[in-house]
Amino acid sequence: MKRSNLFKKAAWALLMLAGLFTFASCSSDEEEDYKGSDSTVVNNKETELKLHGTWQSSENGSYVVLRNPKTGKETIVQYRRLDDKLIPYLNGKIADLDTLAGLSREDLGDRYIRIQFQPEGKLQSFEQKENGSWEKDDDGNYGFNDDGFYMKIGGTNYTKLRITKLTLTELELTETTFDDHDLNEVVVKKVIQFVRA
């Protein structure tokens, strides 16, 4: 009789351990589905739902990594807002992109904009007027494919991006591949931060 009770207790203990292991495995699997191994947020319903809404570009945390084509030296250049643009700054001054990487300011300037991500892959961009109000600028679309996240605003080509951070209040878009061959040669990556508007 004692042997039978000992066997039952051992069987129950094993079943409980198996249940805990299964529960722990499911929990970490869900986390991996949301965040890719290279810190890229992957496409799932949670990502799409968090993306919906209006986001405003921010100079805080936005930067570009440049590689000098002659020396191979990499330099991190921060973005700062100047009127309706995000401009590369280095050591408190507008960066001399020609010396750093053989580029002009227009090559790496980014618009200071709002983007409204809507259901079914539609988006709208807005620009800020002198009085501080926002006005619709362009329509576009976005989506996910095997290469990751992509966006197209107005008449531009599709831009291949990675969503490297996405919370309810913060969005980080990283670009490492550019249509322009010269940019591909000298820009390691461009990171633009957005905050929920």
Q: What is the per-residue pLDDT for 36? A: 38
Q: Cβ of 12: how many Cβ atoms within 10 Å? A: 10
**Pick from 34-43, 44-53, 147-156, 179-188: least confident:** 34-43
Tokens linked to 116: 């409204």
Torsions phi, psi for 24 (to 5 deg): -65, -40
42 has pLDDT over 70: no
Tokens linked to 57: 């570009």
Specify whether the CB–CB gap between 155 and 170 falls below 8 A: no
Element holding 14 (H helix, E strand)? helix 2-34
pTM for this model (two decimals):
0.75
18 has pLDDT over 60: no
Tokens linked to 11: 């069987």
Coil, strand or helix at 88: strand
Residue pLDDT, tens place only, 113-169: 999 999 999 999 999 988 889 999 999 999 888 778 899 998 778 889 999 999 999
- Mean pLDDT value of segment 15-36: 38
Mean pLDDT for all residues in the chain = 80
How big, in percent rounded to 5, are the helix, strand and coil portions of the chain? Answer: 30, 45, 25
Q: What is the per-residue pLDDT for 106? A: 77
22 has pLDDT over 50: no
